[in-house]
A = this chain, B = another copy of it.
């Protein structure tokens, strides 16, 4: 691109580093910034620094928090005897959207993946075990992703927890609601058959 202006080029490169943002989009974003008022541009820059400085990990569940504890761990109305284990803070948000789950969470920040050199020590399994050692938890729901890595992580953790006398469950597999059976893949469909229930 023929922009010989270092500050503009630098901004385009900053946007371009984000996953899924190509050169054209990064350029459009940079021009958006140039079109902002001085106050808006400052607010944008501050939002980045702020989010980065103020957002930490909850001391209990390792979810994102702007305080020692996240809003869910702080809440009096959540059932602390059930822990739902997820890979990522975004998964917490996804489950919260169902408004069905009243327990608390534990965010692993990843899944065991020997291919990527991520072993049990690189994700927040120690922290989960520490929480369970207090003996107040009855059930752990494994809600890691239905991928090879997510499965392996769920299996690994469940093997650690069973000797502790804690019920370990796994999210149900099956056909997604509203989907077309015709387009369901074989593995999902065979899991849905296995897990069929009486009506």
List residues of chain A with CB under 8 Å of any chain B CB: 1-8, 10-11, 14, 17-21, 25, 27-34, 36, 38, 41-55, 64-66, 71, 89-90, 92-93, 96-97
Contact of A14 among B25, B43, B71, B90 (CB under 8 A): B43
Contacts A38-B52, A41-B49, A97-B2 given; does A18 touch B7 at CB 8 Å: no
Q: How far is the CA of A33 from the CA of B25 in the complex (A)?
A: 17
A177 and B66 alpha carbons, distance in the complex (Å) = 55
B-chain residues with CB within 8 Å of residue A52 when the two chains form the complex: 33-34, 36, 38, 41
Instruction: Name which of A54, A55, A96 has the most chain B CB atoms within 10 A of its CB.
Output: A55
- What B residues does A36 contact at CB under 8 A? 52
Are the C-beta atoms of A64 and B34 separated by less than 8 Å? yes
Q: Are A55 and B5 in contact (CB under 8 A)?
A: yes
- A31 contacts which of B34, B90, B92 (Cβ < 8 Å)? B90
- Each complex incorporates copies of this chain amounting to 2
A55 & B32 in contact (Cβ 8 Å cutoff): no
Give A38 to B97 CA distance when docked, in angstroms: 31
A64–B19 CB distance below 8 A: no
Q: How far is the CA of A31 from the CA of B66 in the complex (A)?
A: 14
A15 to chain B, nearest CB (A): 9
Minimum CB–CB distance for A14 against chain B, Å: 5
CB nearest to A25 among chain B residues:
B20
Q: How far is the CB of A198 from chain B (nearest CB, A)?
A: 34
Cβ–Cβ < 8 Å partners of A44 in chain B: 14, 48
Interchain CB contact under 8 A, A34 and B51: yes
The residues of B that contact A7 with a CB separation of less than 8 Å are 47, 50-51, 53-55, 66
B contact residues around A3 at 8 Å (CB): 64, 93
User: In the bound complex, how far is the Cα of B53 from the Cα of A50, in angstroms?
Assistant: 20
Q: How far is the CA of A29 from the CA of B27 in the complex (A)?
A: 16
Quick check: A64 and B20 within 8 Å, CB to CB? Answer: no
> Contact at B28–A55, with CB atoms within 8 Å?
no
